[in-house]
Amino acid sequence: MKELDSNTETSKPVDSKVTKGLGRRNFFKVGIAGTGLAVGGAAGLTIVRRMEGIPHEYFPMPVKDDFKPIDQRNVILTFAASKTLNEKHPERIRKFGNFHFYERYKNFRKGPFQNTPGYTQLDRALAVGGWSSLQALHGPYSLSSPDGVVGSWEQTMLWESKYKFTSEKEASIAIKSAAKLYGALNCGITRRDRRWDYEPLYDPAEERELSWEKDFPFQPKTVVVILAEMDYLAMSTAPSWVTDATVGNAYSDALKIAGQVAIFLRQLGYKAVASMNDMGINGPYAVAAGLGEAARNGQVITPKHGPRIRISKVYTDLDFVECDKPRTYGVASFCKNCKRCADSCPSKAITFDDPSWEPTYSDDPDYIWHAAPGVFKFHKDAKKCFRFWTENDGGCANCICSCPYNKPDFWHHRLVDAQNVVAPGPVHRFMRFMDEIFGYGKVSEPKHVLKFWNSGDKA
């Protein structure tokens, strides 16, 4: 992994005189010209390579040899959905200001409507509709329960003979073609990695522990990772309930596609199970499958849609398939200097610190029970994030909306990728403030809600 630069100085606003009067197109030209001058001809090829991502033979983030897979009972949404676990761990509730995870989750999205754009009956209806398919596809605890409806471990529709692909590449392309036909924004393939699978698994709906060895129906060899897109206009309303709608909708899409890919594989004679957030961590699997890079906001940033995606996956016993290589795009370096998500986070869940092996916000085991020490990354306090969702009564996603990589078109982060090669630190900070000056990524903007609700009229 490329060393992160050590410049952690807080960014200063750019003088508005510098940017006054620059249109978006002109800014693009200025940026390109500046980058071009700085880079020179010979580095051009390096830039092009960098924009496509640098492939790696190994997982592109340092992981300690003694890293232990996460116990699913320590995952926030699993813990919050389980009455039993809440009763078993009063110290977790106490240490987090007597915040009762289970009670708050039970009453989530049930609060009163408000008179503010983004929080009306219209907005709530949109959100509940957005999440409804996921619940129908996977059950009431749809994000955290293994062995749900579409993600059932039962191997129904398994063809008795196996289809023989002529090459691993052919198998890979066929799976990706199928995933895209079912609606995937993108699809990557990687080997199953036990480090990213929960151990043990826990189903909060049935309050039961599950074992990969005793309960899961086969030995997974490969994981197919699927991306679904969230709507840009809806996302720009964050943290409103309209954002909640596109989050739920993209989760539903992602699971629907994973379920279809699982059936496709079973019809080819290979065992397969679709999974949402319920059996392993989607982020590292997406990174391993070359779909994006881990970012400060705790999300995976993809080259074309930034963090505006949701991820699902399919475990299969098919191993005659070409896997993708992880790729890096300069995101870690950009995040080191940007910090816009941390500034926009209403719960202060996102760290301003550099990547580390473990959380820097606390070392009290009763406070950081949900953390995953042993991966060198930006550690976020997911409990604070969850608390804000419940206070907001409908999620948040400010950290996706405000991210400079979140764009409906891609000129900005192509430029960022390009300049990352030669001009880190100060240019990253400049890019972040240019983004703000041009009005991108503003959160809590009622006019964005109105813009979304008027968008249906456009052809």
Instruction: List residues binding ligand SF4 (CB under 6 A).
Output: 295-297, 334-335, 338-341, 344-347, 349-350, 385, 388, 396-399, 402-405
* Residue (153 or 438) nearer to ligand SF4, CB: 438
- The nearest distance, CB 159 to ligand SF4, in angstroms, is 42
- The nearest distance, CB 148 to ligand SF4, in angstroms, is 24
- The nearest distance, CB 323 to ligand SF4, in angstroms, is 26
- The nearest distance, CB 436 to ligand SF4, in angstroms, is 11
* Residue (286 or 335) nearer to ligand SF4, CB: 335
* Residue (206 or 436) nearer to ligand SF4, CB: 436
- The nearest distance, CB 244 to ligand SF4, in angstroms, is 11
CA atoms within 13 A on the CB side of 120: 9
Q: What is the 3-state secondary structure (H, E, C) of the chain?
A: CCCCCCCCCCCCCCCHHHHCCCCHHHHHHHHHHHHHHHHCCCCHHHHHHHHHCEECCCCCCCECCCCCCCCHHHCHHHHHHCHHHHHHCHHHHHHCCCCCHHHHHHCCCCCCCCCCCCCCHHHHHHHHHHHHHHHHHHCCCCCCCCCCCCCCCCCCCCCCCCCCCCCHHHHHHHHHHHHHHCCCCEEEEEECCHHHECCCEEECCCCEEECCCCCCCCCCCEEEEEEEECCHHHHCCCCCHHHHHHHHHHHHHHHHHHHHHHHHHHHCCCCEEEECCCCECHHHHHHHCCCCEECCCCCEEECCCECCEEEEEEEECCCCCCCCCCEECCHHHHHHHHCHHHHHCCCCCCCCCCCECCCCCCCCCCCCCCCCCCECECCCCHHHHHHHHHHHCCCCCHHHHCCCCCCCCCHHHHHHHHHHCCCCCHHHHHHHHHHHHCCCCCCCCHHHHHHHHHHHHCC
* Residue (178 or 341) nearer to ligand SF4, CB: 341
* Residue (142 or 402) nearer to ligand SF4, CB: 402
- The nearest distance, CB 262 to ligand SF4, in angstroms, is 29
- The nearest distance, CB 247 to ligand SF4, in angstroms, is 9
Contact 296, 341 (CB under 8 A): yes
* Residue (266 or 370) nearer to ligand SF4, CB: 370
* Residue (80 or 265) nearer to ligand SF4, CB: 80
* Residue (182 or 386) nearer to ligand SF4, CB: 386
| Cα-only R_g, the chain | 22
* Residue (79 or 388) nearer to ligand SF4, CB: 388
- The nearest distance, CB 378 to ligand SF4, in angstroms, is 8
- The nearest distance, CB 76 to ligand SF4, in angstroms, is 11
- The nearest distance, CB 411 to ligand SF4, in angstroms, is 16
Residue 315 CA to residue 190 CA, distance in Å, equals 10
* Residue (126 or 385) nearer to ligand SF4, CB: 385
